[in-house]
Structure 1
């Protein structure tokens, strides 16, 4: 052994210590790939992976994209950048990805409201069903139905009765036309047989301020953003929008307990150009799922009131179709 080390060190110009670390690094690389099932994208021309966020920086979609980007890059052995291409309720950034090459280097992160775009904007510059394909759902979580404390109701049934007694006189706030709170409230109108009037705001912040001020009595909002306001008595929570009660606040009933089948979840997902091969989709899927399940990312998502999902591409595509059909029904029946 000593003779081998001596011969290797001098005849090859490399010291044994360097050789040892080279071998160890190689073995560790094999170990990591064996554990994650992820290798690099393995394409002829390596480059930068762009994760397109079709909304401004700082929002939930942007936060979750940046939370996974570094780990995804490490696993796929490619640099990753998050690029914001906002406008037209996410349609500009989505169109950019829909028209990109299916080489694994251009991805899209979207929220639940993405599914409503084909129904709200019939003249999109791309076919959302045909030009994009799912990689995975990142995470999901409920909204919470809240009211101003001066609204004398304690549960969903009492709210429905109150609104029915004042048709077209009871307002609800939203974060904007076509936003998830808007569509959730319209589904509530359809399922409950109520006629609350939509008051759109430019974002969640102004909507919550007017809710607390009593300008508007009803709003559907992020459950974690709502919790401190509920605790201080600024607003009152009635129910969550998920099919079952949420682990974040299991004491809160679900709307589905009063309106069976009611289901409006906030979620985020990753998509790719439809021309992306199954092999590449599977590699990206594996990398994203591993990134999602790191403690740091899980904690970040928990802070946003979300639960990690990380499903397979086919499962996410099936879910997307159901979501688009659901939003289409809401938009048509509500006359939006």
Structure 2
């Protein structure tokens, strides 16, 4: 038996949407780069005409590649513990990378949807079975030539070649705005004291995908987790927690009396929502809807009482309004759904 090492690929490509193109001429130059951004020390992000997103993870960053270990040889033998451990570490790393990839997709499309004031459609939450290795060659991302790559990219490329009106092209200025918005989130993420911005946006995006698929309970549960984290963050960001000064972006005035972090942690969600409403940070209308959603969440989680797709749709707009208290530009991940009556 021999232990062989090989470097995990540092560049992956995902297709986060079946209906949106990032540039014209997608049929002839599908993987030509039309926009790129650097997200902190984590990744270089490439946006291509076909709408595929390339992520090159940077050395020294939180998602940098590691060495893979493989046990090779003939005959029966036990897999060494270090090989098994490293495999688990690789799977965990790929999982974090895919969470980051869905965060990037969510950030971009959440900003694009807000600019266009349109629902999110055609969105796909990328999984470990959906990624393709690539390398940059000039202004083009070159992908591996495999049946898997064809399966991931082929359907959308075929539709682009047909010129179907189902595909929509994001205007260059809108894509630039969404890219700068995403890049700026590197700073906003460090400004937040409670909520993990990347995880919240990725979960918000995945909840929209679930809502479109009419998996209302799953979408509702996921989005309510985001809402609860954002509510706690609002208290911190707006100086309503002692020891946490008002952040520069928290410009709305309010009358909430500061409390200790321990007190906030012990305060139930019903009271937190009421405090935000009474203090003037959220409207009575939003407060009432959040209380209704809170009751529905409790019944769902503790009594397995289902929620309707209209409930998960309404919660999407509540999360949008909560993001509005923490971001400088409009952002929304509100997906629709189709039905036959």
Query: Which TM-score applies when normalising by structure 1?
Result: 0.21
Larger strand fraction of residues: 1
Which has the bigger relative contact order, CA under 8 A and spacing at least 6? Answer: 1
